[in-house]
Each structure stands twice: as structure tokens, then as C-alpha cells.
Amino acid sequence: MTLLKISLSTLLVLSLNACSLTERAPMGTLSPGAHAQEIRRDQTTNLTQVGTASVTVYGNPMNAAELIQKKADAVGAHYYFVSNVEPTQVPNQWISQAILYR
């Protein structure tokens, strides 16, 4: 009986800890900076869409993210949501799409 209580208590504690891993902490109010900022989909609600951007790069996904940010900066977007990042059939080549917002 004691072993059962310990097992159930441990299971409860582990389950509650797992919940805290999946729950996101609330983010503060968005404020434009010197460069466009990447945001999550749920942060796009009150923003105005000003366009889209697509890039194809050699290297890694971070190279694609850098180019998306540069394209967003070039058109005056304050924020961007990366909707897709995936490798192509060409080795080390990535394609990325983003929606740009103000």
C-alpha cells in the first residue's frame, strides 16, 4: 500500500511538472525595435499584414531566418511570422516563407 502511495505521488508530481513545460509564459507588449522581430502566430492578432517574404538559401535554417529579417527590414515591417522552414532536395539548401506585419 505504501509503495502504491509513493508511486501515485511521484506520478502526480511528474505530470504537473510536464504541464509547466508545455505552457508558455506570457510575453509583454510588442514594441518595434531597430530591426524586424520574429513573433509567434498568436501575436499577429492585432497587427496589420504588409506582405510576405520567401527565401531560398544554402547553409542552415538560421541563414534563412537572417534573410527573412533583412527582407522585412527592407519593406519597413516591424514584425514577421515564419510560416514555413524546410530543406529542399538539394543538400544544405533551405526554403523559408514568412508573413510580414506592422
* Domain spans in the chain, listed from the N-terminal domain onward: 35-102
Give 69's pLDDT tier (boundaries 50, 70, 90): very high
Rg of the chain on CA atoms, in Å: 20
Half-sphere exposure of 6 (CA within 13 A, CB side): 3
Whole-model pTM: value is 0.69
Q: Where are the alpha helices (DSSP H) in 26-87?
A: 61-74
Higher pLDDT, residue 47 or 26: 47
Least confident stretch, 1-15, 25-39, 87-101: 1-15
Q: Is 48 left (phi over 0), alpha (psi -120 to 50) or beta?
A: beta
What's the CATH superfamily of 35-102?
Answer: Flavin-binding protein dodecin (3.30.1660.10)
The pLDDT mean for the chain works out to 84
Residue 23: the pLDDT is 47
CA atoms of 76 and 78, how far apart (whole Å): 6
Kindly tell me the sign of the dihedral angle through the C-alpha atoms of 32, 35, 102, 61: negative
Residue 44: the pLDDT is 96
- Per the CB < 8 A criterion, the answer to whether 47 and 95 are in contact is no
Q: In angstroms, how far is the first alpha carbon of the chain from the final one?
A: 61
